[in-house]
Amino acid sequence: MRAGLGAVVLAGTAVLAVYLGAGSPVAATATTWTVRPGGSITAAAAKATLTDTTTGVPLRCSPARMSGTLKTGSGLPGTGVGAIATAAFQCAGPFGWPKLTTRGLPWRLTLVSYDAGTGVSRGTLGHLKFVLMGPACTAVVNGANGTAAGGVVAVRYANATGKLKILPGGGNLHWWHVSGCAGLVGNGDPATLSAAFAVSPPQTITSP
């Protein structure tokens, strides 16, 4: 693995604009939030998929787990309302990749809009970076070709299900520093990450 591979400085405004454009037409931009019970959380997904959208090749991970903290109370700002301290993905792919290593932790959860009719909050998870290593393929997934973790993905949380979904649209992930890989992923190709994490304990997140 080469030292200091990949990363990016967030184009936050552009990412949020794309993300909000994909949201529910009745979702309202929120300025303050209420989170109960907050505190320490764990999150587990039966599967997660990281895809090169140019070639269509997926890297499937099963399972995926995260842990972190949420702020608790009312009148909370959406920016930095939560942080993911640990994230682990068990993956298999066409290159026999042994693992997908997560970087840039803690990842930062920002909430942006809330739909009171459905109890769904939308926002972003930022500061992401992934490094892949295998006998025939090495690569970095990040927001842009820089030196700092700068990946952003769009997320939604539903009170009714207690699930935090990482959405395949509305992010800025790309493949960088690709070596080998038989053309299945390409340097500079857009990447998407999708997963549905069950949060424990389940949270109730509303605005205001």
Q: What is the pLDDT of residue 178?
A: 95
pTM surpassing 0.95? no
Per residue in 63-80, pLDDT (tens digit) is: 999 999 999 999 999 999
Q: Which residues contact 55 (CB under 8 A, 6 or more apart)?
A: 183, 184, 185, 186, 189
Q: What are φ and ψ of residue 48, in 5° steps?
A: -140, 150
pLDDT at 186 over 80: yes
Query: Pick from 74, 168, 166, 91: which is nearest to 131 by CA?
Result: 91
Show the tokens assigned to 27. 């979702």
Residue linked to tokens 């690709």: 178
Per residue in 130-152, pLDDT (tens digit) is: 999 888 889 999 998 878 999 99
Q: With contact defined as beta carbons under 8 Å apart, do 131 and 101 qualify?
A: yes
Tell me what the mean pLDDT of segment 84-97 comes to.
83
Q: What is the pLDDT of residue 21?
A: 41
How many other C-beta atoms lie within 10 A of the C-beta of residue 73?
11
Q: What is the pLDDT of residue 100?
A: 86
Q: What is the pLDDT of residue 136?
A: 85
Per residue in 19-60, pLDDT (tens digit) is: 444 444 457 888 999 999 999 999 999 999 999 999 999 999
Query: What are the Cα distances from residue 164, in Å, to 20, 130, 167?
Result: 17, 20, 9
Tell me the one-letter amino acid at 86: T
Q: With contact defined as beta carbons under 8 Å apart, do 139 and 185 qualify?
A: yes
Q: Which residues contact 185 (CB under 8 A, 6 or more apart)?
A: 52, 55, 57, 137, 139, 175, 178
d(CA 44, CA 50): 16
pLDDT interval class at 164 (50, 70, 90):
very high
Residue 96 CB burial class (10 angstroms; 0-12, 13-18, ≥19)? exposed
Q: What is the pLDDT of residue 146?
A: 78
Q: How many CA atoms lie within 13 A of 120 on its CB side?
A: 13
Decide which of 27 and 159 is more confident.
159
